[in-house]
Amino acid sequence: MAESSVEAEMWRTVAMLELRRGPTLQALAGYRMQVRRQVQASMCKVSAVKRRGLRGIEEEMANIELQNGEELKCAVHAVFRKAVAEPAHGETCAKIALALRHRYPQFPPEPESEKPLSFTRVLLTVTQAEFESLPCTLEASADDVAKFPDSEALQAEVERRRHVMLSCVSFIGHLFLEHLLPLKVLKQVVQDLVGLTQGRPSPPEGHRIDCVVELLMLVGPSLERRPSSGALLIEIESRLRDLTFLGLCSGELCFAIRNLAWHHFG
C-alpha cells in the first residue's frame, strides 16, 4: 500500500531514528498526539486570558513545533472549536489564529509538485468544514425524538445546536475582522444562510436569519468603512428587511433588523 502524503512527511521527520516503516509511523503518530495535547492545553488557558495576557498564549502556541500542514490543521481546528464552544472568547481565538499565521505562513508542498500549503488555505478548509457540518434545520428528526424522548432534553439539544450555529458564524465574523478570511467567504456564508442572489431558495428558518443579524452586527461597521463592500452591506440588509415582511422573524429579531437598517441608512 502506497504511503500517503502525511505518512511520507512522518517518515521524513523521524528518518534520523532509522526505524522501520511501522515503528516510524507509530513514533510520529505519538508525536502528533503530543502536538494535539499541547495545542489543547494552550487553548484551555484562553478562559483565563485576562489574568495571563493574550501575548502569553500567543507565544505558547508559537512555541509548539508544527512539522507539516496536517499538524497546522489540527491546531486551527482546536482554535476554531474553542471559539465555537466558548463564543465569549471568539475575538481572542481569532487573534490567536492571526498569531499562528504569522508563525506558520506556509509549509513546503506535499508532494513537491504541488503548491506550498499556506495558513490561509488551511483556515479556509477548516472554516468550510466547520460551517458545512452545521445542521441544515433545527427541526427535530425522528432520530432526535428517539434519542431524546424527554421533551425538555430534546428542546435543550435543539437550543444547543442553535448556539453552536450562532457561535460558528460569529467566529467567522471575527476571522474576517482580523483579515484572515476574504469578503467573498462572508458573502457565501450569508448566501448559504438566507440567500442573496436570484432564484433564492425557500424562506430560511428563523435561526438562520438570527445568524445573519448576529454576523452583521459584528462586521457591519467594518463593511461600512470598506468602499468595496458597500454593495454587499446594502444587499444583506435589503434581504433581511424582505424577510421581516414574510413574518419569519420574531418580534425581537425584527426590532434588531430595524435597528441595523436605521444605523446604516439613517
Q: Is residue 228's pLDDT more than 90?
A: no
Prediction pTM value: 0.80
- The per-residue pLDDT for range 15-63, each reduced to its tens digit, is 544 444 454 444 455 556 677 777 777 777 776 655 456 777 777 777 7
| Joined grid coordinates for residue 146 | 428517539
Question: What are the residues facing 106 on neighbouring strands?
Answer: 118
3-state secondary structure of 118: strand
| Joined grid coordinates for residue 233 | 452591506
Backbone angles phi, psi at 117, to 5 degrees: -90, 105
- The per-residue pLDDT for range 138-162, each reduced to its tens digit, is 888 888 888 888 889 999 999 999 9
Residue identified by cell 486551527 is 76
**Alpha-carbon gap, residue 162 to 120, rounded angstroms:** 28
**Alpha-carbon gap, residue 107 to 55, rounded angstroms:** 24
Per-residue pLDDT, 186: 94
Per-residue pLDDT, 65: 82
Q: State how beta strands 106-107 and 117-118 pair.
A: antiparallel
The whole-chain average pLDDT of the chain stands at: 79
Would you say 185 and 167 are in contact if contact means Cβ atoms under 8 Å apart? Answer: no
Per-residue pLDDT, 260: 65
Domain boundaries, the chain: 5-131, 134-265
